Amino acid sequence: MTPAAPKVLVLELPPPLRRPPRVEHTRVPVAPRVPPSSPVAHTLALAHQIQAGIDRGELEDRAEAARRLGVTRTRMSQVMALLALAPGIQEQVLASGASGTTVCGRLSERRLLTLARSPSWHEQLRRLPTGG
């Protein structure tokens, strides 16, 4: 008997693993932190946006804005009534931030709506509380 020839086993191996290319990380500048605004400042800004939408013809009227936002027409009237505030009061409300850094920033929406019903801006400023 002749010895049998050894069997040859052929294995196919996958290519060697390579490390993924090194990714260079870049630093993205972080935007400065903006202090959060007070709820009434947010509402006043919304009123300005709604009025601008009406002026541009994007909204037919306040009733349409109320429908789109899912609020009652009564609430929409309250929001839009803030536009009757004197410009100086509006500026202070918008600039106050959540910390209430101005007299107007510390006033509630209810108090501002009461001021907005005053017959004139002069009367609003006269009725505005002073000091801290």
Residue recorded with tokens 């009025």:
51
The residue ranges of every structural domain in the chain are 39-127
Proportion of the chain in helix, strand, coil states, percent, rounded to 5: 50, 0, 50
Backbone torsions φ then ψ of 77, nearest 5 degrees: -65, -40
Q: Answer whether 63's CB lies under 8 Å from 91's CB.
A: no
pLDDT means per 10 residues, the chain with 132 residues, are 67 69 63 67 93 94 95 96 95 74 74 94 89 52
pLDDT of 38 reads: 82
CB 96 within 8 A of CB 89: no
* pLDDT recorded at residue 128: 86
pLDDT, position 1: 60
pLDDT at residue 95, rounded to an integer = 85
* pTM (predicted TM-score): 0.68
